[in-house]
Structure 1
């Protein structure tokens, strides 16, 4: 039985640079987001169907969207959020460093311009970059900001032992 709403799962990479906690976000590809900054950046993620676990989907989608294997490391569950379009997104955070220049984005096709009969290929994510949490909150899809808050809370409780 399939669920009513669409479901996505993803991995949010994070790293510590000096005193900053940074996260890796992707800018959504395609013509609708080409000139947008605010609300156009996302956790690398993708949809999955019944029969695939969210964790397996998150790892598969990381590879598909970024063209790189998902990093090893402790996965911190950040739970789920419901986006304005109704999609439920489940995310895990993993501490890892990654060079954005190494990304080989997956692609999707769509008719563009609309009703032109021309099908074009676009990258799923047209660029990726590291952001401090404050900057990430300014550009990330609104509902996904909850993941940043949950990661910050986890990091505050997971500091160095004294």
Structure 2
């Protein structure tokens, strides 16, 4: 089974927990309510999960992260295992994502893998995050 790893940045302001999510790019996600997610990607051969998570975060946002990561553990989706780490930080939402190519309605389209980033309160995030990733928000709340 394939494995993906990602990073969930978080911060606290005025006693409220915020998380940093990426909006999935491309036409399929344009009008979907649950179209925000933890920035992540597949673990490549020879990488450990945290190295993969840092690489993917950089590829999809243009931002390098380092610091003391919290391990939020793993969960299994229908086709892969997700391993997520959290990092307390205060990033801006200006991103530079890598581009992906996909066939859509008979045409090859090019679009950013992540087309926006945004800080959400933890409660707002629970309403917009991909359902399979919601468990990581709950785990983060228990740890911080």
Could you state the TM-score of these two structures normalised by the residue count of structure 2?
0.95
Residue 57 of structure 1 corresponds to: 52
> Per the alignment, in what secondary structure is the counterpart of residue 71 of structure 2?
strand
Q: Which structure: greater strand fraction?
A: 2
Residue correspondence of structure 1 range 99-138 to structure 2 within 5 A: 99-101=92-94, 103-113=95-105, 116=106, 118-138=107-127
Residue correspondence of structure 1 range 69-148 to structure 2 within 5 A: 69-70=64-65, 72-83=66-77, 85-101=78-94, 103-113=95-105, 116=106, 118-148=107-137
Query: Would the alpha carbon gap of residues 112 and 143 (structure 1) be closer, same or farther in structure 2, given more than 3 Å must change?
Result: closer
In the TM superposition, structure 1's runs of 4+ consecutive aligned residues that sit over 4 Å from their partners are none
Q: Distance in 1 between matches of 2:4 and 2:130?
A: 14
Report the Cα offset of residue 86 of structure 1. Answer: 2.0
Paired residues, what number?
A: 144
Residue 160 of structure 1 corresponds to: none
The structure with the largest alpha-carbon Rg is 1
